[in-house]
Structure 1
Amino acid sequence: MLYRCLVGAVLTLNLVVPAVALDSTEVAIRDAVNRGQEDALALLERAVNINSGTMNVDGVREVGRLFSQAFTDAGFATRWADGDSFGRGGHLIAERGTRGPKVLLIGHLDTVFAKDSSFQRFTRIDEHHAAGPGITDMKGGNVIILQAAKALASVGVLDELQLRVILTGDEESRGRPLEVANKELQAAADWADIALGFEDGDGDPETVVTARRSSSEWSLTVQGKPAHSSQIFRDDIGFGATLEAARILDAWRVALSAIPNLTFNPGLLMAGTDIEHDDENTRGSVFGKNNVIAQSAVVTGGMRAISPQQIDRAETLMRDIVADSLAQTSAQLSFNHGYPPMAPSAGNDDLLKQYSAISEELGYGPVIAVDPRRAGAADISFVASRVDGALDGLGLMGEGGHTVDEVADLRTLPQQTQRAAILLYRIALKSR
């Protein structure tokens, strides 16, 4: 990839020549990050080698203990928020500081790789790359949070900030009920001025995330009048459940597909005389005959939107289309909203400008906002509307996330840590 070539050109043990002079404290922060890379890589390997698939609650807790000790050693007060009440392992909270801007730093402990996955270990591929479950999504990001804080502490400026770190244990599969699973995260957001997320974004260090789309589910149930198929289209017989479902889906396609950053996807469709729908496991069974008009249909799917206003607009359009039923049919539509959107904002854009300027001064070049369609929902989605500014995608970069080909470009570990540490320092400076 192009960015790997660019990173390789500017990094030699991460001792870069900045395009614009950093101040003396920022130079010291950069150098402290470089000195900490051996410890950072060792912690990353240890974390990756602990399976912490979301439903492996013991593994999530073990990774939590590993990072809890690391943050305690760095001078943070840590505590564990147990996840029994929302069906998950729990969350790690680490706090430090009593003065200065309040900054929430977000990571997560869990991965998509189950306890019985074949992909279990950190493996060094070559000098610059390593593979492992969750190495970029997002144990590398957790390490960056810690190392950035340690670099600030080493030059005596960490206590000019109030930091709250939350490493969730259910980012890949959210616990329920949401209000319980998100209690610590949203309380921290209400406390904070700024939120920074350390996901890997789209894997490119030339981009960060200033906006994420929501993740919602919807369910459509349709009823028609069963009769012999030869009588379909009669006014008193109607069009049946299958054609009504098809009408609704195509009308949604026409109405919604032209709205920027809005998508909807029908993932499951069943129609026939008798339907058994196992909603929890997204499967079912259907009986129907070619000479009988379908009595029932069920369609389930997902929707993603860039703002609450866009969600409201889409819901209104979808419900209006559902209500315009074909003869002798009826339909009901319901929504289950999971992750809210991280909507664009002036505060987010301001953080991006600061971050990009830091990147250029470090010699890494400018950073731009990633297309929201390339950034899925994440923990920061639950907090972005509650803070003055939010930025995500600050973690360890690579490719193949959520697959057994997940590989990190280790050259971006010090790079991303330097950028984050100096951003935190400048946030502190602005409050003086």
Structure 2
Amino acid sequence: MKSLAALFALSLVLAAPVHAELSPAEKRIAATIDAEQDRSIALLERLVNQNSGSLNLEGVEKVGAMMRAELEPLGFAVTWKPMPETKRAGHLIAVHKGRAGRKRRLLIGHLDTVFEPDSPFQTFTRKGDLATGPGVGDDKGGMVVIVAALRAMQAAGTLKDANIEIHLTGDEEDAGDPISQSRADLISAGKRSDVALDFEGLVRDGGADMGSVARRSSESWTVTTTGKANHSSGIFSAESGDGAINELARILHRFRTELPEPNLTFSVGLVAGGQEVSLGDGGIRASASGKTNIIAATAVARGDLRTLSAEQAARVKARMAAIVADHAPGTGASLAFDPGGYPAMAPTEGNRALLTKLNGVNSDLGLAQMAALDPLKRGAGDISFVAADVDSLAGLGPYSTGDHAPGETLELPSIARQATRAAILMSRLAMERR
């Protein structure tokens, strides 16, 4: 039985006479990617078998060295940018200088995974056209798509004129602090680019490949409430008030009933209340003490906020602040947002135009058109740090399932399909003037 990759290559050959816009160089790109599929899978296996959990600084740097070895022979000037001040390994930055005056592309991926060295899930395993392993899809599969696309462009002669800058961050899954410093190089690259392409995984909806023109933000918030620590028999009286826990419950209930709107989600992930409450480092643990016959003196809740635009974020935060400020009797409350966080990648006309160009590639390859993905169906990502400055398209990596959990599985033929799409899109963009 022919593999899915072979059938995909055959479909390209059969489609070529009908879709006359596929140039000889683009046909060469498709043929090269198919011929080198085993090479791509071998690279994927090596990357996956090197642990690169975000806090495994040595492992992340080793994966960076492996990617350097792939990119330098393609004519990229590669730099390792260490980040000891953010307590993370660093980032790999690679630059290919093409013809002056042509559009500059920024390619984004990441070296790290969520699987630290103490995870039991450590090894690449292949079963036919499926592969499992830590980061096999997110985002080591994405990095393999980048390499496969660039190798095919070199073989077809379309790489030499292409202006490309690649940023492979070493802390996408657990960003270094302060994030303004850990993302400074990426933000600067976005400001000097014309197009940003993100190689995190492809998302399917109803079995159809989708294009990502938007990603929502990711921010964390904390509500802290106070009350009068009196005997419980006086609760709700003018002297004792409502207590800190009731005040926190009031606020969270009003968030739930008054905040909902399209493309917004907010979640409470941690709650504690009592006579005394303390938050641990990083705000991911809390401890509380108290008794049933007292009015709680303090309570705290931490949660997540995701929005589709900076305007939506500002509006929702103002509403949250107003709810928090409307105290119940005898209580106090404050709202704070963690510094940093991931901004939104809003669905701009420029992003939609990029998807239209990708669908032009799909048409010429004989592939189905890709509709814009509902932004509720994917999380935040590094591309959001540049999306305010440059037209952006996400989800150019391969298709995987079970990301961030043991058993993460990649559909291997999607490497060839995504690399072919990306290489032809980048080759066409290389001919466009700034």
Name the residue aligned to 2:362. 359
Name the residue aligned to 2:394. 392
| CA offset digits 1:368-406 (Å, max 9, x no partner) | 12111111011101111111x100100011211111111
1:373 is aligned to 2:376: yes
Do the aligned residues in 2 keep the contact of 1:49 with 1:122 (CA within 8 Å)?
A: yes
CA–CA distance in structure 1, aligned partners of residues 48 and 289 of structure 2: 47
Name the residue aligned to 1:166. 167
CA–CA distance in structure 2, aligned partners of residues 276 and 133 of structure 1: 34
Aligned pairs for 1:263-342 within 5 A: 263-280=265-282, 282-336=284-338, 337-342=340-345
1:293, distance to aligned residue in structure 2 (A): 1.2
Name the residue aligned to 2:19. 20
CA–CA distance in structure 1, aligned partners of residues 405 and 86 of structure 2: 26
Amino acid at match of 1:300: R
Amino acid at match of 1:308: A
Q: For 2:405, which of 400, 403, 406 is the aligned residue?
A: 403
Do the aligned residues in 1 keep the contact of 2:187 with 2:386 (CA within 8 Å)?
A: yes
- SS of equivalent residue, structure 1 residue 423: helix
1:183 is aligned to 2:180: no
Q: Gaps spanning 5+ residues in structure 1: where?
A: 1-6
1:382 is aligned to 2:381: no
Do the aligned residues in 2 keep the contact of 1:10 with 1:363 (CA within 8 Å)?
A: no
CA–CA distance in structure 2, aligned partners of residues 430 and 339 of structure 1: 31
Do the aligned residues in 1 keep the contact of 2:149 with 2:423 (CA within 8 Å)?
A: yes
1:201, distance to aligned residue in structure 2 (A): 4.0
Name the residue aligned to 1:110. 112
Name the residue aligned to 1:4. none
1:31, distance to aligned residue in structure 2 (A): 1.6
Do the aligned residues in 1 keep the contact of 2:271 with 2:301 (CA within 8 Å)?
A: yes
Paired-residue identity, % = 42
1:203, distance to aligned residue in structure 2 (A): 5.4
Compared with structure 1, are the counterparts of its residues 194 and 266 closer, same or farther at alpha carbon in structure 2 (3 Å cutoff)?
same
| CA offset digits 1:210-264 (Å, max 9, x no partner) | 111111010111011121222122223211111111111111111112x111111
Name the residue aligned to 1:345. 348
Compared with structure 1, are the counterparts of its residues 307 and 10 closer, same or farther at alpha carbon in structure 2 (3 Å cutoff)?
farther
- SS of equivalent residue, structure 1 residue 343: coil
Do the aligned residues in 2 keep the contact of 1:14 with 1:34 (CA within 8 Å)?
A: no
CA–CA distance in structure 1, aligned partners of residues 279 and 241 of structure 2: 24
Name the residue aligned to 1:253. 256
TM-score, normalised to structure 1, is: 0.94
Do the aligned residues in 1 keep the contact of 2:110 with 2:139 (CA within 8 Å)?
A: yes
1:13, distance to aligned residue in structure 2 (A): 6.2
CA–CA distance in structure 2, aligned partners of residues 26 and 8 of structure 1: 17
1:117, distance to aligned residue in structure 2 (A): 1.4
Tell which deviates more after alignment, 201-210 or 135-144.
201-210
Do the aligned residues in 2 keep the contact of 1:224 with 1:296 (CA within 8 Å)?
A: yes
Amino acid at match of 1:135: V
Name the residue aligned to 2:77. 77
CA–CA distance in structure 2, aligned partners of residues 341 and 405 of structure 1: 29
Name the residue aligned to 1:60. 60
Amino acid at match of 1:429: M
CA–CA distance in structure 2, aligned partners of residues 132 and 230 of structure 1: 57
1:227 is aligned to 2:226: no
| CA offset digits 1:308-361 (Å, max 9, x no partner) | 011101110000011111111110110124000111100100011111221132
- SS of equivalent residue, structure 2 residue 341: strand
1:194 is aligned to 2:195: yes
Do the aligned residues in 2 keep the contact of 1:203 with 1:399 (CA within 8 Å)?
A: no
